[in-house]
A and B are shown apart, each in its own frame.
Chain A
Amino acid sequence: MSMNPFCEIAVEEALRVREAGLASEVVAVSVGPRQAADTLRTALAMGADRALHIQTDEEVQPLGIAKLLAAVAAKEQPGLVLLGKQAIDDDSSQTGQMLAALLGWPQATFASKLEVDAAAEKATVTREVDGGLETLRVALPAVVTADLRLNEPRYATLPNIMKAKKKPLAVTTPQELGVDPAPRLQTLCVEEPPKRKAGVVLGSAAELVQRLREEAKRS
């Protein structure tokens, strides 16, 4: 198990905001079984100040996670919540949008550039949209989800991994937060996608063009 790549980018961006003097503290949060603590230690080793582990062995879907994070945000009152744009296991791309809805905060999804204007309590965010880029100005507090090109996450150095072991990591549960994150989607089955038939390596460009013409006639 390792940290979702988009979450690494979100952690990195949070650290950069703090290093620019625009945030006082970075808190990393994860929901899941005991092993999720390892992922939080990675965030602490990258430079997060403290961590919160919402421990549960049950399956939690994006709406449930969003409710748990909303409860944390209500307590912690952050100025900015950063998430990855999607998790590469269930590929849902929903949690950030749902969290913003539950909090009634603005959202800036698929961010490739973030500029925080702390004095004006606003952030200017460039988003990767289908046709190119779009820039929004959102009032803080806001929810931002990180796209791949937001930054290049740093590696945790050995001394920082050692230091991370001493950083505070609090543990709570959905019950303590007063949230019922029960799943709403029941997975009936998981299958392998249909296999493609074996292909052939051709000898020349002429042969390729001939084969493609035959394919075109067939379809």
Chain B
Amino acid sequence: MALSSWRALRPARSALASAAGLGLRSLSTLVLAEHAGGALAPTTLHTLSAAAKLGGPVSLLVAGDATQGAAAAAARAAGVSTVLTAEDPCLAHGLAEPTAALLAAVGTKHAFTHVLAPSSTYGRNILPRAAALLDVQAVADVQEVKDGDTFVRPIYAGNALATVRVTGGGPRMLTVRTTAFAAAPASGGNAAVQVVGAEELAAAREAAGGSQWVGEDVRKSERPELGQARVVVSGGRALKSAENFDRFMEGLADRLGAAVGASRAAVDAGYAPNDLQVGQTGKVVAPDLYIAVGISGAIQHVAGMSASKVIVAINSDGDAPIYQIADYGLVGDLFALLPELEAELDKLGDIKK
């Protein structure tokens, strides 16, 4: 029973393959929009910049149970030629089954040559599922677009960069490493808004029902979002307790307008919640300034922050691997150095005033 479902999709796929195949028709790109609370997520704007590198018109697909606000924002985003909206209760909360079916159906219907999504948990959950429905091998975490078929992506926790070329038919389907592309301007665009066809919506409804959203536990924070912040201060195990982590990391973050991150060791020890984890299995960040406090610099952590413009390490162990990638380092007792640093930053605040 199981296999029949994807085999049944093959005729659709081969029709698409001939339509989208290798330069026979002009480029056109579909971007799956990530959005919340009536606004586009910043990840969408970064993905639009990657789409712009491909050339050709860019359409944005806004799917959900309430799409009006996000669709209006999408129409204003620079570089978008068409906004496609799909509104249905089954698309609430971005569940993978209906959203992937919709993405595959919309991609096929309009014969897009490229289908992109941000490499966030949202995009990584949905895009590979849609790719398999179209019998396409997706390219994960693209950080550079060489041409319409050729892309650069990190492998081995960012210790190597692979240049891959997609072969065969079907659309090129990519998730985009958002930190590698600047955000497209949120205004200046004037795209036409169009509702997706009944057929595509029916595909979403048909795929829905296998999973049900129960609830979420989302941290509310006044700070900039970790993936988007210009400055990130991250704490590790050497902070020794949740109290110290809060006190020192918040203290630094307040003075720098920074987001707070953490190493896996700090998360596992219960000093910081999971979603603050920076690294191969957590978030990938590339801020202007990254301050690593009490973090040794294991490769899994470095994978998540090595693209930062300026890296500062503060550690008691001068031989810690973090100093191999840090631009500036302070070596010594954290609990003495951090108050000194705070005092210096406070002085700076006085000068600015």
Contact = CB atoms under 8 A, between A and B. Distances in A.
Interface in B117-139: 120-122, 124-133, 135-139
Contact of B156 (A89, A101, A110, A147): A89
A88 interface: yes
Most buried by A among B127, B135, B154: B135
A62 B162 CA distance: 16
Given A101-B132, A128-B121, A199-B329, A106 B211 contact: yes
B227 A192 contact: no
A37 B280 CA distance: 27
B273 interface: yes
A99 B124 CA distance: 14
B211 A101 contact: no
Contact of A188 (B164, B214, B217, B329): B164
B198 interface: no
A107 B331 contact: no
B344 interface: yes
Interface in A132-149: 132-139, 142, 147-149
Which 7 residue pairs across A and B have the least CB separation, nearest first? A106-B210, A184-B137, A98-B132, A101-B132, A104-B5, A94-B128, A97-B128
B215 interface: yes
A169 interface: no
B159 A193 contact: yes
B132 A97 contact: yes
Interface string B165-198: 1111000000000000000000000000000000
Interface in A95-125: 95, 97-110, 112, 124
Interface string B67-107: 00000000000000000000000000101110010000000
A45 interface: no
Contact of A74 (B3, B212, B281, B327): B3
Nearest to A91: B155
A194 B306 CA distance: 10
B159 A205 contact: no
Contact of A187 (B130, B137, B164, B331): B164
B129 A129 contact: no
A219 B306 CA distance: 18
26 contacts: A63-B135, A91-B156, A92-B138, A93-B124, A95-B128, A97-B96, A98-B132, A103-B2, A107-B96, A107-B211, A108-B211, A129-B275, A130-B283, A131-B219, A132-B216, A134-B215, A136-B214, A137-B212, A184-B167, A185-B167, A186-B165, A193-B158, A196-B325, A205-B337, A211-B328, A212-B289
Interface residues of B, number: 90
B344 A102 contact: no
By DSSP majority rule, is chain B's interface helix, strand, loop, or mixed? mixed
Interface string B284-304: 000011000000000000000
A189 interface: yes
B145 interface: no
By DSSP majority rule, is chain A's interface helix, strand, loop, or mixed? mixed
Contacts of A201: 318, 323, 328-331
Given A101-B129, A130-B121, A212-B310, 10 more contacts: A71-B3, A92-B128, A101-B128, A102-B6, A108-B211, A185-B139, A191-B163, A196-B311, A199-B311, A199-B329
A103 B122 CA distance: 21
B12 interface: no
B140 interface: yes
Contact of A199 (B219, B227, B328): B328
A188 B136 contact: no
A61 interface: yes
B39 interface: no
Given A89-B156, A102-B5, A136 B213 contact: yes
Nearest to B348: A209
